[in-house]
Amino acid sequence: MEYKKISDHCGYYQAAVNIGYIHADGKGFLIDAGLEAAAAKKVVKHLQSNNLPLTHLFITHAHSDHFGGARYLKENFQIIVIAPDLEAAIIENPVLEPIYLFQGTYPVQELRNKFLEAPSVSVDRKIQAGTETIDGVSFQIHSFPGHSYQQIGIEFDSILFAADAYFGVEALYKHKIPFIVDYKKTLESLAALSLLRVKGSVPGHGSYEESYQETVQINIEWHQQILKLTEEFVKQQGACSFEALFAYLCRQKDVNIPHLSSFLLFRTAVGAYIAQLIESERAIFKIEDYQLIIRANM
Ligand SMILES: [Zn+2]
C-alpha cells in the first residue's frame, strides 16, 4: 500500500481499495477504511511515522471493502465517523448487506463473510450532499447514488474522492458486470461526475487521474452496452425467465462466479439492468408457472 500525494492537502493510499486522506487545519480526514483492520493499520503506521493527524473518517458507502477497517480505527483512535444516512444504517447494522443480497431471507452462514459483512461501527455524524463544514474544515459533498443507495463523493482543494461512482478501467475489465443497484442513478451520477470542475479525481478502485472524464465516459459506455445486451436478449426471446437472462449476460461477459457471494452480487447488478427495462416500459414482469418472467414490451 503506497501513499500517493496529490496536493499539499490531499493524497491516497493506493491498494485494491483506495483510502483517501485530506490534511487541513491540523486535522486528518480518511476517506474509507479498507477491507479490514490490517489495511487501516498500515495507513495509521504511515500517518504516525510522518506526524500526520487522524481525527475523522468519512465512509462513502456501506460496502465492506470500504469500511471493514473502520471498527479498528474507532476502537483505537479518537475519531469522528461520518457517513450518509442510509449507508450509516447498514454500517451500524452490517448484516443488512447479506440480508438484501439474499432477497430478505436471513442469510446462510456462508454469506456472513468479511466481503459482505464488515464489523459494525457507530456513525457519529450523518451528512448529505452540499457544503459541509466539519470542525472548521469545509468540504463539498457530492451525491453519487447508483452503485450503492446513497453513496457520496468528497471534494476538497479541487480534488475529488469519487468512491465507486466510477471504476478505473482495469477494475471494469476485472468485474465485467460492475455492481450497481440502480441503472438510472448510476448513469446520472456518471453524468454529474463528467460535469464537475475539479483538478482531478481518485476512484475507489483505480488511480488518480486529472483527465478522469475519459474513464467516466468508458464507464458510461460499459453500462450502456450491458443494458443493450439485456434489451436485445429480451426482445429476441419475446419472454424469458430471470435465470435465463442472468445466465445469458454472465456468459456474454464471461463472468467468473465461483461461489454464492459472487452469484448474489452479480444477480443484484443484473437485476438493476432489468429494472431499468421495466421502469422505461420496454419490458414487464410476469409471474408464469411460478417463475419470474421478463416479457418484451417493445
Ligand atoms: Zn462499493
Domain ranges of the chain: 2-221, 225-296
Taking the centre of ligand 1 as the mean of its atom positions, its distance from the CA of residue 234, in whole angstroms, is: 28
Taking the centre of ligand 1 as the mean of its atom positions, its distance from the CA of residue 239, in whole angstroms, is: 32
What average pLDDT does the structure give for the chain? 97
Taking the centre of ligand 1 as the mean of its atom positions, its distance from the CA of residue 240, in whole angstroms, is: 30
Taking the centre of ligand 1 as the mean of its atom positions, its distance from the CA of residue 209, in whole angstroms, is: 19
pLDDT-based confidence at residue 149 (cuts at 50, 70, 90): very high
Taking the centre of ligand 1 as the mean of its atom positions, its distance from the CA of residue 154, in whole angstroms, is: 15
Nine-digit cell string for 120: 459494525
Instruction: Check residue 73 and give its pLDDT.
Output: 98
The average pLDDT across 164-179 equals 97
Over 90: is that where the pLDDT of 4 sits?
A: yes
| Spatial distance between the Cα atoms of 28 and 22, rounded to a whole number of angstroms | 6
Distance of CA 199 to the CA centre of its chain: 22
Taking the centre of ligand 1 as the mean of its atom positions, its distance from the CA of residue 164, in whole angstroms, is: 5
CATH, range 2-221: 3.60.15.10
Taking the centre of ligand 1 as the mean of its atom positions, its distance from the CA of residue 237, in whole angstroms, is: 33
Residue whose cell numbers read 500517493:
4
Share of the chain above pLDDT 70, in %: 100
Choose among 100, 98, 203, 200: nearest CA to 144: 203
Taking the centre of ligand 1 as the mean of its atom positions, its distance from the CA of residue 168, in whole angstroms, is: 13
Taking the centre of ligand 1 as the mean of its atom positions, its distance from the CA of residue 66, in whole angstroms, is: 7
Instruction: State the architecture of 225-296 in CATH terms.
Output: Orthogonal Bundle (1.10)
Taking the centre of ligand 1 as the mean of its atom positions, its distance from the CA of residue 287, in whole angstroms, is: 32
Taking the centre of ligand 1 as the mean of its atom positions, its distance from the CA of residue 161, in whole angstroms, is: 13
pLDDT-based confidence at residue 1 (cuts at 50, 70, 90): confident
The average pLDDT across 164-186 equals 97
Please check whether residue 68 is in contact with residue 119, taking contact to mean a CB–CB distance below 8 angstroms.
yes
The average pLDDT across 127-156 equals 97
Taking the centre of ligand 1 as the mean of its atom positions, its distance from the CA of residue 38, in whole angstroms, is: 19
Taking the centre of ligand 1 as the mean of its atom positions, its distance from the CA of residue 165, in whole angstroms, is: 8
The average pLDDT across 117-144 equals 97
The average pLDDT across 205-212 equals 97
Please check whether residue 143 is in contact with residue 129, taking contact to mean a CB–CB distance below 8 angstroms.
yes
Instruction: Check residue 293 and give its pLDDT.
Output: 98
Taking the centre of ligand 1 as the mean of its atom positions, its distance from the CA of residue 158, in whole angstroms, is: 23
Taking the centre of ligand 1 as the mean of its atom positions, its distance from the CA of residue 291, in whole angstroms, is: 30
Taking the centre of ligand 1 as the mean of its atom positions, its distance from the CA of residue 44, in whole angstroms, is: 22
CB-based burial label for 260 (10 Å; 0-12, 13-18, 19+): middle
